[in-house]
Amino acid sequence: MAKETFEREKRSGEPTYRLWGQKVRAALEWRRGYWNGDETWRRGFRLYKGDHWNSGWDYDMADFAWMFQAVSSSNPRDQITVNRVNALVRDFVAFLVAGEPYFIVKPKRAQAVDSAKAQGNLLNYEWREHAVTEEIEKVAYDMAIIGHGVVKTGYEIELDESAVDPKKGVTDYDKFIRYEEPWARRVNPFWFVWDPEAPDLSLRTARWAAEIIFRPIQDIVDDERYSKTVRRQIAQGVESITTVKSFLNARGDLTGQYGANELEKLSRGVLYEVWDWKFKKRYVFADGIEKPLVEDDWPHEYLDGFPYLVGRFIYVPDDPFGIGIPFLVEDQQFELNDLRSKNFAHRRKFNRMYQLRQNSVEPSEIQKLERGEDGTVIITNEDQPIHPVEDAPESIDVDRTEQRINLDMEHMSGADQLIQSGRLPSRTSATEVNRRVQIFGRKIDLITRSLDRVVLGTGIQMLQHIKANFTRTRVIQKIGVDGVRAGFEELSINQIREDVGIEVKSTVAKNVDPMMEKTIAIQLLGVVAQLLQIVGPGLLQMFNIVEFVRWIMEKFEIPDLERFFPAAGTLPPEIASLQEEMERAQIASQGGNAGAPPLRVSATSSESEPYRTGANANSNPIGALLGFLGNAG
């Protein structure tokens, strides 16, 4: 029966409309019963948030309600939670998203060098301007907790409708654009599904994808982007939208008691945004209503696929989703909690106890012993008849067991001692350290590459959105490799049309000491200084020394670098004077000007001319810069 229904599917029309609600609900139900589906993800979030005992907390998948029992030092829980899962997740995310990515845009033909540079400046500026790294960090948390994360990209243009003449309408959109911007945002993985019949089960080969959205019903009725007919039917009560409460109840996901804020969320309407890759359609449906609120042709022909990207934490062959840290260390986490809870229960139950010799203390004095405050005097009939009963010493196996549990969790999750800046045993050999580094590196590289692919894919899609929708000349601020903001430049649509390739400098924590980077930069500057002496002024035409010096200065995080490079396309005075001196040296070497002093620049030899600063700095600017950076480093 299902096969006949799918064979009748067309590009549009009522039979197709009915199918989309069925497909989305069927995909959600399939995932609900899948071994690595909703229930596993839910357990992951519970472990991360500290709900390890199924008591005290009341949680539902939509995260619409959190109810918990009040606890305090005077009313402690019977069970202890040592939330190592939370710590491991935060360690990984802090490592994976340790800074801003930097996109390197490369031309695909020689004539596109300037365009590639402009596109790189634009992409890096827009990425930071719209805080996309914050969204990537949220995706990284999803990846670490449940095994995968989802990001969506798009482009938004808002027109100033108040300036539009209603009689003439809009003929030139450029004049009425209030603002335009690319964007990327994290999508809740619970509310994003794709075709479970995709050839390799991945989003890349899926025929369709859908995002479930919750909006206040009145907002849906007032949104003029939606079909007037359907909105009118909703307002008049002819059609009814499924509420979040009904939607969750039907899935058996609604639990607990709810306050006013949660009830407001539960009263919202359920929408499906469906992306049909086969027929290149985009729909927005209200659950419970057959006709779509929106039916558009595919809006992003310039994208090679859906405007969504999925990153997996730990890959599972032939599986649409990855697995996260809680899934790997769940048993060890429970074992650790149980160990600490038993230890805590023992300490609570053991109170001060005393041993008395019979008839050696009067009953009234015994009451003083039981109830008296500190400093109470006890009168006895004999010498030292009262002896405190000592508690049995705690077994050393408790600490050993806890240490073994923690090591198991670190090894299984990949959070080796090195990623947490932990100390290795004092007698660890250099060979053992290198072996650990290599194994750790391979495990982490797999996860790093997955997040890097998400970052790169997001950057590529954002640039494609910009190139397809960019309408006006705009002013942007140039961003350096290390995130240092430089001067401003003006870009037009004609400057970013060229086809380019994109690479990304990862967000992962650097494995190079910043001081080492500064040292290497200074050494490279010395090499260039020697090359200038050997090659002569011709090097300045083959080598962009201005960008090279800028790159070095970025290592020292010098703010407002543009004050050193006042005019685009021209050499700074220091470099210009160097070029003049090189030219004079070349003339002198050819016998044209025997009086001109030869250039002597060396970064290493103590026998060379010493680096000069102050009034004589311009006579050897590279040497002066080397001396300055050497002192700063």
Pair of tokens at residue 73: 């030092």
* Whether residues 262 and 362 fall in one domain: no
* Mean pLDDT value across residues 579-607: 48
* Whether residues 552 and 621 fall in one domain: yes
User: Is the pTM higher than 0.75?
Assistant: no
Task: Answer yes or no: is pLDDT of 568 > 60.
Answer: no
Q: Is 560 left (phi over 0), alpha (psi -120 to 50) or beta?
A: left
* Whether residues 297 and 242 fall in one domain: yes
Cβ count near 52 (within 10 Å): 21
The larger pLDDT score, comparing residue 425 to residue 5, is at 425
The CA angle 401-404-409, to the nearest 5 degrees, is: 130
In a domain? residue 592: yes
* Whether residues 521 and 600 fall in one domain: yes
In a domain? residue 550: yes
Query: 497-554 pLDDT, tens per residue?
Result: 888 999 888 766 665 566 777 788 888 888 888 877 777 777 666 777 777 877 777 7
Return the pLDDT at 20: 92
Tell me how many domains the chain contains.
3
Cβ count near 514 (within 10 Å): 13
Place of tokens 């031309």: 107
In a domain? residue 23: yes
Where does a domain end: 398, 420, 435? 435
Where does a domain end: 419, 435, 451? 435
Identify the top-confidence range among 42-56, 94-108, 343-357, 461-475: 94-108
How crowded is the C-beta side of 436, counted as CA atoms within 13 Å?
17
In a domain? residue 174: no
The larger pLDDT score, comparing residue 454 to residue 52, is at 454
In a domain? residue 483: no
Q: What is the CA radius of gyration of the chain?
A: 34
Average pLDDT score, the chain: 77
* Mean pLDDT value across residues 192-212: 95
Return the pLDDT at 533: 79
Q: Which domain holds residue 422?
A: 351-435
- Please report, for residues 122, 336, 467, 519, the alpha-carbon distance to residue 492 in angstroms, rounded to integers and kept in the order given: 11, 60, 10, 39
The larger pLDDT score, comparing residue 450 to residue 568, is at 450
* Whether residues 211 and 292 fall in one domain: yes
How crowded is the C-beta side of 366, counted as CA atoms within 13 Å?
12
pLDDT exceeding 90 applies to what percent of the chain?
A: 36
The CA angle 208-209-210, to the nearest 5 degrees, is: 135
* Whether residues 277 and 361 fall in one domain: no
In a domain? residue 487: no
In a domain? residue 55: no
Least confident of 275-284, 384-393, 416-425: 416-425
Residues 308 and 203: beta-carbon distance below 8 Å: yes
- Distance of alpha carbon 613 from the chain centroid: 45
- Distance of alpha carbon 556 from the chain centroid: 26
Query: 260-306 pLDDT, tens per residue?
Result: 556 678 889 999 999 999 999 999 999 999 999 999 999 999 999 99
- Residue 385 sits at φ, ψ, to 5 deg, of -85, -10
Where does a domain end: 417, 435, 453? 435
pLDDT exceeding 70 applies to what percent of the chain?
A: 66
Task: Answer yes or no: is pLDDT of 610 > 50.
Answer: no
Task: Answer yes or no: is pLDDT of 64 > 50.
Answer: no
In a domain? residue 337: no
Pairing assessment for the beta strands 308-312 and 102-107 based on DSSP bridges: unpaired
Integer Cα distance of 93 and 82 in angstroms = 19
* Whether residues 220 and 284 fall in one domain: yes
